A and B are shown apart, each in its own frame.
Chain A
């Protein structure tokens, strides 16, 4: 891990995000852009639910046989003339990439969108070594110009407005006419296309991620809409693939199951524009394609998730549906999460990768509405796992004393039902008395943080359990 996480400051990050008018405007696009399109695409495929089950089962099978599939995959890559490098952690992965770039005499590397590169902090590391990384996914290019992290795993610049992008292009593309019109997204896209076309053609090495690694054939698969990943991996003399251990799947048929879910879940497309299967380097007689093909397979803490209550997180195919449907993500955006992976999947994965002491706030930033799990194409029980992290956090005494004390107090009563009922009914009656018909409390002792932003409706004199019992009795009668 080299990108310094700000996850420990999630609360401050979130407050800042809520007060950021430009960000709030941009976040409106998440709700508008993703949810309806996904729903429509899912409705158009009656087998979608069956595919989710199939995909979950394939991933479970792979995770139970992960060592063997990785061996089979590596052997097939090598058979096709490629090279496979394993990396235990981020530092090792960065060093492998740098060594390859140096051996190849690389000065410029183009990059397709890869979250693994973000995870290992590749760009600053290459820059420090005198190698210039150029992001080519439009969203990644924009945030690279701004020196920011992606705020979304499939739409890295979703936190920005077109006016902000226009400002960045004017600041950086100084060779172009100062008075050019950059008011519309299409002019911005055209400008980026022109600038990046030169970078594609001039790069020495192309680095991409991988959506899947296919063990049967030793193939890496990338999925893009722009075609940037393809130009990145086709034009330079070497293609380096960055992937994590859980990306391997058995066969082409299995890939088809996931591909039917991925685009629909991510962008609501029937299929992404470019799905590319790469196997080894350029072959005899090939007029184009990379002469060298390397795959770096990163562990970085994932192997220790296997066999734990967080194993199912390794089924994730990085579609982004969980964050697209998350009310917390909608409210604060991706940067508040403070590291590479935002939203519900980030709230589960980040503590696994950088530690619950660093990222304990993330699994707490949930309303437990369950939408993330209901749209997950591989049915990861994200809310359950966030609860597991809360338990771990509690076990490790990472919560503040007041919170622990209150929970302890509540637990004392909760374990004694009669006492609990008595105490709550006394408290509720007392509150109703104090309220004197106003109907709400604007301020309460020990709950200042809560009442700062909203009023607490005043109890009506009877507890929930009393009302429940009364209603049940009424129904029985």
Chain B
């Protein structure tokens, strides 16, 4: 009674292999090691202002809103302004991310809370590790810095991303993640987020705010 051995043996019987053929083993090891890039669309092959513009255009196409600030010090005022503009309560929950903690929140009247969400927070704030301009996608990783629950439970999710962390394509994001975590090592959770939550399950009518955030607001930090 070893299901694993049985299933693998059944596969090998069907493809006529033993599992020990050197050529097959080498083909697999080689692919895992080299991780060939495949077809990477031209669309994302832009840099600088063009990359930021593409990121912005694609994120907005996915119904996120995008703001730009010149420096990290301007983030709190921009976030407070966004919440005010949409008549949202002046509350904000975030993780321990030192980049967020270092921002001058004292300049705002926001009521701040720290740690994962229990589902009762209206507004959540996260710092993304990167973004992909090709589709206006944010990349967030789990941990005490940016708890995963903040990405999904609050009604309004505000995400900070540095312009210098934006990638043109997913392949560049993987390169950056491998650089940060090591080859073949992943953070526990990587969330790629493209716009706010939605569902089309009732009569194919797309509606925002299914189970995750109803609004996604992105603040890009330049410089």
> In whole angstroms, what is the CA distance A54 to B40 when docked?
11
> In whole angstroms, what is the CA distance A282 to B147 when docked?
11
Q: Mark B74-97, 1 if CB is under 8 A from A, else 0.
A: 000000000000000000000100
When A45-B41, A287-B115 are in contact, do A253 and B28 touch as well, CB less than 8 Å? no
Residues of chain A contacted by B194 (CB below 8 angstroms)? 269-275
Query: Is the contact region of chain B dominated by helix, strand, or loop, or is it mixed?
Result: loop
Whether B14 sits at the interface, judged by CB under 8 Å, is: yes
When A65-B27, A197-B119, A231-B152 are in contact, do A54 and B197 touch as well, CB less than 8 Å? no
Whether A61 sits at the interface, judged by CB under 8 Å, is: yes
Q: Is the CB of A273 within 8 A of B195?
A: yes
Pick the contact of B186: A47, A219, A282 (CB < 8 A).
A219
When A281-B188, A306-B15 are in contact, do A251 and B62 touch as well, CB less than 8 Å? no
> In whole angstroms, what is the CA distance A322 to B223 when docked?
47
Residues of chain A contacted by B188 (CB below 8 angstroms)? 80, 278-283, 286, 289
Whether A435 sits at the interface, judged by CB under 8 Å, is: no
Chain B: minimal CB distance from A123 (Å)? 18
> In whole angstroms, what is the CA distance A281 to B31 when docked?
26
Pick the contact of A226: B14, B32, B135, B212 (CB < 8 A).
B212
The residue of chain B having its C-beta at the shortest distance from the C-beta of A201 within the complex is B119
> In whole angstroms, what is the CA distance A200 to B38 when docked?
38
Pick the contact of B192: A66, A138, A274, A299 (CB < 8 A).
A274
Q: Mark B160-181, 1 if CB is under 8 A from A, else 0.
A: 0000000001110010010000
> In whole angstroms, what is the CA distance A275 to B151 when docked?
12
Chain B: minimal CB distance from A170 (Å)? 15
Q: Is the CB of A227 within 8 A of B152?
A: yes
Residues of chain B contacted by A225 (CB below 8 angstroms)? 197-200, 210
Interface positions, chain B 1-50, Cβ under 8 Å from A, are 3-4, 6-8, 10-17, 19, 24-25, 27-28, 31-32, 35-43
When A155-B201, A157-B202, A271-B137 are in contact, do A287 and B116 touch as well, CB less than 8 Å? yes
> In whole angstroms, what is the CA distance A90 to B65 when docked?
45
Residues of chain A contacted by B40 (CB below 8 angstroms)? 47
Q: How many residues of B are counted as interface, with CB atoms below 8 angstroms from the partner's CB atoms?
A: 82
Q: Is the CB of A216 within 8 A of B35?
A: yes
Q: How many residues of A are counted as interface, with CB atoms below 8 angstroms from the partner's CB atoms?
A: 108
Residues of chain A contacted by B187 (CB below 8 angstroms)? 279
Q: Is the CB of B116 within 8 A of A156?
A: no
Q: Is the CB of B11 within 8 A of A256?
A: no
Whether A85 sits at the interface, judged by CB under 8 Å, is: yes
Q: Is the CB of B32 within 8 A of A234?
A: no
Q: Is the CB of A276 within 8 A of B189?
A: yes
The residue of chain B having its C-beta at the shortest distance from the C-beta of A81 within the complex is B188
When A65-B27, A67-B17 are in contact, do A303 and B41 touch as well, CB less than 8 Å? no
When A245-B11, A276-B190, A286-B144 are in contact, do A161 and B119 touch as well, CB less than 8 Å? no
Q: Is the CB of B202 within 8 A of A165?
A: yes
Q: Mark A55-79, 1 if CB is under 8 A from B, else 0.
A: 0001001011111111110101000
> Counting chain A CB atoms within 10 Å of each CB, which of B12, B17, B143, B188 scores highest?
B188
Whether A364 sits at the interface, judged by CB under 8 Å, is: no
Interface segment, A181-189, A395-403, A423-431?
Answer: A181-189
Chain A: minimal CB distance from B26 (Å)? 10
When A228-B211, A231-B212, A307-B14 are in contact, do A260 and B62 touch as well, CB less than 8 Å? no
> In whole angstroms, what is the CA distance A177 to B190 when docked?
40
Whether A158 sits at the interface, judged by CB under 8 Å, is: yes
Q: Mark B121-141, 1 if CB is under 8 A from A, else 0.
A: 000000000000001110000
Q: Is the CB of B189 within 8 A of A46?
A: no
When A33-B204, A155-B204 are in contact, do A251 and B31 touch as well, CB less than 8 Å? yes
Q: Is the CB of B35 within 8 A of A250?
A: yes
Interface positions, chain A 24-53, Cβ under 8 Å from B, are 26, 29-30, 32-34, 45-47, 50-51
Interface positions, chain A 63-114, Cβ under 8 Å from B, are 63-72, 74, 76, 80, 84-88, 92
Q: Mark A231-254, 1 if CB is under 8 A from B, else 0.
A: 100110000000001000011111
The residue of chain B having its C-beta at the shortest distance from the C-beta of A280 within the complex is B188
Q: Is the CB of A47 within 8 A of B193?
A: no
The residue of chain A having its C-beta at the shortest distance from the C-beta of B205 within the complex is A185
Whether A449 sits at the interface, judged by CB under 8 Å, is: no
The residue of chain B having its C-beta at the shortest distance from the C-beta of A44 within the complex is B43
Q: Is the CB of A87 within 8 A of B28?
A: no
Whether A203 sits at the interface, judged by CB under 8 Å, is: no
Q: Is the CB of B25 within 8 A of A68?
A: yes
Q: Is the CB of B135 within 8 A of A138?
A: no
> In whole angstroms, what is the CA distance A259 to B39 when docked?
12
> In whole angstroms, what is the CA distance A307 to B170 when docked?
33
The residue of chain B having its C-beta at the shortest distance from the C-beta of A308 within the complex is B14
Residues of chain A contacted by B42 (CB below 8 angstroms)? 46-47
Residues of chain A contacted by B37 (CB below 8 angstroms)? 253
Residues of chain B contacted by A378 (CB below 8 angstroms)? none
Q: Is the CB of A234 within 8 A of B211?
A: no
Q: Is the CB of A253 within 8 A of B35?
A: yes
> In whole angstroms, what is the CA distance A259 to B153 when docked?
25
Pick the contact of A253: B19, B36, B61, B152 (CB < 8 A).
B36
Residues of chain B contacted by A58 (CB below 8 angstroms)? 38
Q: Is the CB of A230 within 8 A of B62?
A: no
Pick the contact of B204: A64, A158, A245 (CB < 8 A).
A158
Chain A: minimal CB distance from B70 (Å)? 29
Residues of chain B contacted by A185 (CB below 8 angstroms)? 202-203, 205, 207
> In whole angstroms, what is the CA distance A256 to B209 when docked?
26
9 A-B pairs with least C-beta separation? A227-B212, A33-B204, A226-B210, A139-B201, A306-B14, A303-B10, A271-B135, A138-B201, A277-B190
Jot down 15 A-B pairs with beta carbons below 8 A, ordered by A: A30-B204, A67-B11, A86-B6, A156-B201, A160-B202, A186-B207, A260-B41, A270-B58, A270-B194, A273-B62, A274-B212, A283-B188, A286-B144, A304-B10, A305-B14
**Sample of 12 further A-B pairs with CB below 8 A, known A189-B209, A216-B35, A307-B14:** A64-B24, A155-B204, A200-B211, A217-B186, A270-B62, A271-B192, A283-B188, A286-B188, A287-B144, A299-B10, A303-B10, A303-B11
